[in-house]
Structure formats: C-alpha cells, structure tokens
Amino acid sequence: MSRLCSPNRPCTLLLLAFLQLAFVLFLYRRSLSGSFASSLYEEDRDGRWDYSKTHDVYTNLSFVTPSPDRETLPECPVESPLLVGPLTISFQKIPVMSKIARKNPYVQAGGRYTPPHCKAQYKTAILVPHRNREPHLRHLLYYLHPFLQRQQLQYAIYVIHQTGNRTFNRAKLLNVGVREALKDEDWDCLFLHDVDLIPENDHNLYVCNEKYPKHVSSAMNKFKYRLPYRMYFGGVSALTPEQYLRINGFPNTYWGWGGEDDDISARFDMVVKVSKSWRSDGMNSIDYNLLQREELPLYTNITVDFGSSPNVRAKVN
Ligand code: BGC
C-alpha cells in the first residue's frame, strides 16, 4: 500500500491537482450563471458563457437607426440580433444623467422606448421602488436602457419614489407603480426591480413567462450566484399584469426591510404559510397620496407620500 503523501512524497502534486480541479469547477459554475441574473433560464441553451470576455453595454446600438417609414416597419425578430451575452459592469464612476441621455438618443420622455427600426413584439414596464439611492439609480439607468434596447423591446422605466419620513415600503411602492403604469399602456410584462441590481448578460430577456411568475435575479454576486433559499423571490421578478392582479399584488403593510417578497412567493403555493389577509390587503385596498408624476428624460418619476409614522414593521413569519 502506498500513501498519497509522505515525507518522501510531498502533497504538492496532489495539491496542484486539487487546485486545478477547483479552478475548472469554478469556471464551469461561472459559465452557468452570471452576476445577478444572467442566463439561468431558457436562454442558456448551450449551457455556457465565458464571463472572462465581456462586452460594452452599448455595443451594437449604433446599428439601430430609425426606419424612414414607420407605417411599414417589419416585426422585430423573436431573437434580437443585437445581443452580445456577458456585459462589462463597473461601478467606479457614477454616470451623469445628461451623459446617459446622450448615449440613449432614442429614449423618449418618461424613459419610454419603442424600437425605431422594427415593430416590438413585447412591451415591458420596469418598476423601481426608490428613496435616497441616487447613485444606484444612475448606474441602473446607464446599464438598463441599452440592455433593453438591444432586446428590441418596447419598454418604459418607472421610478416610484417614497417621500415623507415613514419607513420605506417597497411592497406598497410596487403596487403604486403597477397601478400607475397600467394607466399608460397595456403592458405585457411588469418587472419589479430593485434599484441596486444590474443584469450581467443581455440574454436574460426582460419578458414574462405567461404561465408562471418568474424570478429573474436567481444568480446574484451577493449570494455567490446561488439562491439564498429555495423560495427566494426578491431582487428582480417578472409577472404579467394578469398574474400580479390575480394574487392581489403585494400586501401594503410591509413597512421596513424584507419579507414582502417572501409573502408574494408563498402565494404561488398556497400550501405554504402566507399572510392570511392577502385577499383584502393588496392592489384592491391600496390608498396613496400621489404627489407628482413627471416625465423625466430617462424615467417616469412617481412621487408618493405614505404619511408620517407609525413606523411599524410587519414582516410575516
Ligand atoms: C427577507 C427577504 C430578502 C431576503 C434576501 C429575507 O430574510 O425576508 O425580503 O429578499 O432575506 O436578502
């Protein structure tokens, strides 16, 4: 019998082999997923992306030029030819709003976009709850606009801003966003989007699954590209308006951080414990004071006031 390691035969070779294996496994895992929500879904057809080769998020957009005749536009193809895969993301410099607007000349007031060269097959509204996160918002707009344009979607970005001194209520802001966005357009899909998450791969299409609510940010760098727990539905998720309304949206009573996404996730599986009041607390009971609705160059800003105190935290466990 021989031992793998002994004073005469040190473990160096074994260690090297182990490190090599670990590295290969790491690359393989990395190829399956990307920071926040790359291509874990139907788009990951061949099962691998090379994240060591990333592309500028504005790549290919210069090829998009308006068609002279808007009446006879061809349908945009099911798969956009503009997609590039993994994107280069950097948070070193906070982009200036005017620069983002210059880089996105076809984005119209309110952060709306319709492809100028083909008829979009899909309409997505992006809803971003917000308070005091200006740098995050600027990064998001810098990356999300070109990302969505390369997918050849018709889209609009709504930022729902909570004013006043009451505790932040992400859930209620999203309900407000859905209500306001549906006044504008018959959207095919609603993307509920945290302000601090940036997609890393443009094959992660911002479209809904007609059959099921879709969790989009299933691979986030913060969670080492794994789900933190099986039912996790936070970060970025996508529902059709019909799906959102069928579950009565989010409860309006989640003041403070966390819990609202777990609640909405539990509603898809009623066996799991869920807030009992879901039928009466949600889209059908929302009440808010809309202070302002502005069509800014890069997004529609909806400012709401939920009043002041009490700062109750109502996480359902
Ligand atoms: C919270 C969720 C949150 C998740 C991940 C959970 O404990 O209830 O709202 O998304 O942690 O941070």
Per-residue pLDDT reduced to its tens digit, 166-215: 999 999 999 999 999 999 999 999 999 999 999 999 999 999 999 999 99
Does any domain span residue 157? yes
Distance CA 34, CA 197 (A): 12
Residues in the chain: 317
Structural domain tally of the chain? 1
Percent of the chain clearing pLDDT 90 (strictly above): 64
249 falls in which pLDDT band (50, 70, 90)?
A: very high
pLDDT > 80? residue 98: yes
Ligand 1: which residue has its CA nearest to atom 10? 234
Q: Residue with the nearest Cα to atom 2 of ligand 1?
A: 258
- Using 50, 70 and 90 to split pLDDT, how confident is the model at 95? very high
Q: How far is Cα 297 from Cα 97, in angstroms, rounded to an integer?
A: 9
- What are the φ/ψ torsions at residue 282 (nearest 5 degrees)? 170, -140
Residue 138 has pLDDT above 70, yes or no: yes
Between 151-155, 244-248, 262-266, the lowest mean confidence (pLDDT) is in 262-266
pLDDT greater at residue 197 or residue 20: 197
Burial (CB count <10 Å: 0-12, 13-18, 19+), residue 52: exposed
Q: Is the CB of 259 under 6 A from ligand 1?
A: yes
Q: Is residue 68 part of a domain?
A: no
Confidence of residue 316 (pLDDT cuts 50, 70, 90): very low
The stretch 161-168 carries a mean pLDDT of: 92
Q: How many CA atoms lie within 13 A of 114 on its CB side?
A: 9
Question: Tokens in use for 175?
Answer: 């309900």
Mean pLDDT, the chain, rounded, equals: 85
Give distance in angstroms: CA of 234 to centre of ligand 1: 7
Identify the pLDDT of residue 17: 59
Asked whether residue 228 carries a pLDDT value surpassing 50, the answer given is: yes
pLDDT of 24 > 70? The answer is no
- The pLDDT, as a whole number, for residue 275 is 59
Which of the 8 DSSP states describes residue 86? B
Higher pLDDT, 282 or 19: 282
φ, ψ at 150 (rounded to 5°)? -65, -25
> Residue 242 maps to which CATH number?
3.90.550.10
Residue 261 Cα: closest atom of ligand 1: 9
Kindly state whether residue 69 falls inside one of the protein's structural domains: no
Calculate mean pLDDT across residues 236-248: 96
Is residue 166 a contact partner of residue 311, using CB atoms and an 8 Å limit? yes
- In the predicted model, is pLDDT for residue 115 greater than 50? yes
**Mean per-residue pLDDT for 146-159?**
98
Q: To 5 degrees, how large is the angle CA 61–CA 63–CA 64?
A: 70
Pairing between β-strand 123-130 and β-strand 154-163 as defined by DSSP bridges: parallel
**Mean pLDDT calculated for residue range 155-167:** 95
What is the distance between the alpha carbons of residues 311 and 156, in angstroms, rounded to a whole number? 32
Q: How far apart are CA 270 and CA 116, in angstroms?
A: 44
* Full domain range(s) for residue 90: 2-63+79-305
Q: What mean pLDDT comes out for the span 118-143? A: 97
Are 156 and 218 in contact by the 8 Å Cβ rule? The answer is no
Q: Give the C-alpha separation, 153 to 144, whole Å.
A: 12
**If you ran DSSP here, which 8-state letter would residue 117 be given?**
S
Asked if residue 74 is part of any domain, the answer here is: no
Query: 141 vs 52, which has greater pLDDT?
Result: 141
222: Cβ below 6 Å to ligand 1? no
Write out pLDDT tens, residues 25-75.
Answer: 443 343 333 344 333 333 444 567 888 899 999 998 988 888 888 788 999
Best residue among 230, 233, 262, 272 to mutate for probing ligand 1's pocket (most ligand atoms within 8 Å of CB) is 262
Instruction: Give the residue whose CA is nearest to atom 1 of ligand 1.
Output: 258
Please give the C-alpha separations between residue 47 and each of 38, 39, 43, 167, 273, in angstroms, as whole numbers: 11, 9, 9, 42, 35
The CA 262 to ligand 1 mean position distance, Å, reads: 7
- Separation of CA 132 and ligand 1 centre (Å): 20
Q: Is residue 213 in some structural domain?
A: yes
Q: Is 230 left (phi over 0), alpha (psi -120 to 50) or beta?
A: alpha
pLDDT at 272 over 60: no
**Any domain includes 57:** yes
Q: What does the pLDDT read at residue 56? A: 97
Q: Assess if residue 316 is contained within a domain.
A: no
Nearest atom, ligand 1, residue 259 CA:
8
Asked, for residue 214, whether it belongs to a domain, the answer is yes
The verdict on the CB of residue 263 being under 6 Å from ligand 1 is: no
Q: Which atom of ligand 1 is nearest to the CA of 235?
A: 10
Residues 218, 35: Cα–Cα separation, whole Å: 9
Record the tokens describing residue 162, joined without a space.
Answer: 């909570």
Of 28, 22, 40, which is closest to residue 227 (Cα–Cα)? 40
